[in-house]
């Protein structure tokens, strides 16, 4: 049995999802004619209590569009040093928004309001780039799926209002945080000026992300999406999967979290593992002993038909998802017993 825990993006649409996709009513989205895309955008915007949303191919695109709209050449974006927009978007902040990044070291990727305040440049000092955006991530991928304390978001929002800075959320795995905390989508809509969510991660869609914000912001983002070549046509087939996932795959994320806990417990017993990062959602990051390389562990596991990702010199990441069930967990437990390091 192949156990693929490289990412929660590897899931394939279920038969039910595929059936809904086949039946979708579609049109040309560049003309605004795709009823299913329009329905998804409206549904998502309303659920966050925000004005508008834009359906895009990837979370990189939604983040980059947000940064492009919020910033102008010479701007600076404040974010954590572990953030996806800094590490995994190909330098897009420079390429798309002609802006720089100021990275801060947070707590497993989570920044505190006072850290951010100290990092805001003096707008009257012509030597410094103009701080133009604060971008946060929840959950934090590289922080092991860590969840922010919502109170910190409220403090950061207050700060952003004081300094007139927009606040963006990379919520690629926001629903993983939502099912574990009391806050709702509307609470997030009140705090953030723009939010990016992914449908292709834990929610199990084949493709798709949404950028959410006010009308004016989304109108600008729609224009930049076209420039990037991201205007698409009968995208309703994909939007239909998104609507289905939002209605059926959110609550079940808790199951992924439970299996991540069990996976972490199994791994924590192993002599070659130094420590397991705190597990709050569906991501398990383990740190190996100093004499073992992540790439070595990853290839040894692949021999046992278990797939995971190297996540640093001695860090390995496992991600649970919709296509990883209890029997997968059982096979994982028995296969990993065969692993040894000499």
Cβ pair 236, 35 in contact under 8 A = yes
Q: Which of 69, 172, 218, 308 binds ligand PLP (CB under 6 A)?
A: 172
Question: Does 67 engage in binding with ligand PLP (CB under 6 A)?
Answer: no
The alpha carbons of the chain give a radius of gyration, in whole angstroms, of: 20
Q: What is the x/- site pattern for ligand PLP, positions 15-54, by CB under 6 A?
A: ----------------------------------------
Question: Does 170 engage in binding with ligand PLP (CB under 6 A)?
Answer: yes
Shortest spacing between CB 9 and ligand PLP, in angstroms: 7
**Orientation of helix 253-268 relative to helix 326-336, angle to 10°:** 10
Say how many C-beta atoms besides its own lie within 10 A of residue 251's C-beta.
10
For the four alpha carbons of 81, 85, 90 and 96, in that order, the dihedral sign comes to negative
Question: Does 281 engage in binding with ligand PLP (CB under 6 A)?
Answer: no
Query: Secondary structure of the chain: what % helix, strand, coil (to 5)?
Result: 40, 20, 40
CA 167 – CA 231 distance, rounded (Å): 26
Q: Which of 99, 130, 146, 209 binds ligand PLP (CB under 6 A)?
A: 209
CA 74 – CA 54 distance, rounded (Å): 26
Question: Does 243 engage in binding with ligand PLP (CB under 6 A)?
Answer: no
Choose between 75 and 83: whose C-beta lies nearer to ligand PLP: 83
Q: Which of 198, 235, 245, 283 binds ligand PLP (CB under 6 A)?
A: 198
Choose between 209 and 280: whose C-beta lies nearer to ligand PLP: 209
Choose between 172 and 243: whose C-beta lies nearer to ligand PLP: 172
Say how many C-beta atoms besides its own lie within 10 A of residue 227's C-beta.
11
Which CA distances in Å does 186 have to 84, 161, 213, 218? 24, 19, 12, 18
Q: Which of 58, 128, 181, 234 binds ligand PLP (CB under 6 A)?
A: 58
Choose between 58 and 234: whose C-beta lies nearer to ligand PLP: 58
Question: Does 60 engage in binding with ligand PLP (CB under 6 A)?
Answer: yes
Shortest spacing between CB 63 and ligand PLP, in angstroms: 6
Choose between 244 and 311: whose C-beta lies nearer to ligand PLP: 311
Cβ pair 47, 185 in contact under 8 A = yes
The DSSP line for 228-291 is: TT---SSTHHHHHHHHHHHHHSSTTHHHHHHHHHHHHHHHHT-TTEEEE---SSSEEEEEE-TT
If binding means CB under 6 A, how many residues of this protein chain bind ligand PLP?
A: 13
Shortest spacing between CB 234 and ligand PLP, in angstroms: 20
Residues of span 303-342 touching ligand PLP by CB under 6 A? none
* Residue carrying structure tokens 């070595």: 296
Q: Which two structure tokens, joined as six digits, stand for 296?
A: 């070595």
Question: Does 141 engage in binding with ligand PLP (CB under 6 A)?
Answer: yes
Pairing between strand 100-104 and 75-80? parallel
Q: Which of 59, 145, 202, 242 binds ligand PLP (CB under 6 A)?
A: 59
Cα 102 to chain center, whole Å? 20
Shortest spacing between CB 291 and ligand PLP, in angstroms: 30
Choose between 80 and 193: whose C-beta lies nearer to ligand PLP: 80
Choose between 130 and 176: whose C-beta lies nearer to ligand PLP: 176
Instruction: Give the interface with ligand PLP as residue ranges (CB under 6 A).
Output: 58-60, 63, 84, 137, 141, 170, 172, 198, 200-201, 209
């Amino acid at each position: 049995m192949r156990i693929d825990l490289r990412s929660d993006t590897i899931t394939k649409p279920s038969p039910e999802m595929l059936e809904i996709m086949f039946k979708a009513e579609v049109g040309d989205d560049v003309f605004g004619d795709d009823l299913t895309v329009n329905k998804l955008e409206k549904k998502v915007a309303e659920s966050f209590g925000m004005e508008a949303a834009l359906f895009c191919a990837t979370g990189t695109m939604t983040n980059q569009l947000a940064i492009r709209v919020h910033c102008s050449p010479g701007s600076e974006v404040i974010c954590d040093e572990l953030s996806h927009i800094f590490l995994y978007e190909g330098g897009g902040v420079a390429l798309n928004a002609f802006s720089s990044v100021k990275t801060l070291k947070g707590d497993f990727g989570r920044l505190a309001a006072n850290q951010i305040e100290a990092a805001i440049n003096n707008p009257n000092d012509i030597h410094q780039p103009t701080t133009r955006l604060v971008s946060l991530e929840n959950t934090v991928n590289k922080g092991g799926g860590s969840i922010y304390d919502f109170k910190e978001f409220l403090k950061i929002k207050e700060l952003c209002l004081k300094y007139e800075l927009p606040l963006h959320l990379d919520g690629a795995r926001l629903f993983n945080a939502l099912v574990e905390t009391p806050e709702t989508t509307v609470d997030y809509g009140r705090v953030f000026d723009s939010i990016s969510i992914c449908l292709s991660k834990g929610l199990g869609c084949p493709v798709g992300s949404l950028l959410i914000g006010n009308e004016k912001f989304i109108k600008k983002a729609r224009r930049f999406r076209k420039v990037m070549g991201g205007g698409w046509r009968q995208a309703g087939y994909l939007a239909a999967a998104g609507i289905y996932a939002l209605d059926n795959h959110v609550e079940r994320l808790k199951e992924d979290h439970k299996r991540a806990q069990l996976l972490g417990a199994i791994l924590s017993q192993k002599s070659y593992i130094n420590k397991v990062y705190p597990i709050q959602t569906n991501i398990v990051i383990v740190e190996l002993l100093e004499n073992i390389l992540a790439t070595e562990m990853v290839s040894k596991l692949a021999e046992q038909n278990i797939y995971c990702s190297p996540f640093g010199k001695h860090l390995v990441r496992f991600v649970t998802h919709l296509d990883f069930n209890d029997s997968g967990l059982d096979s994982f437990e028995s296969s990993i017993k065969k692993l040894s390091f000499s």
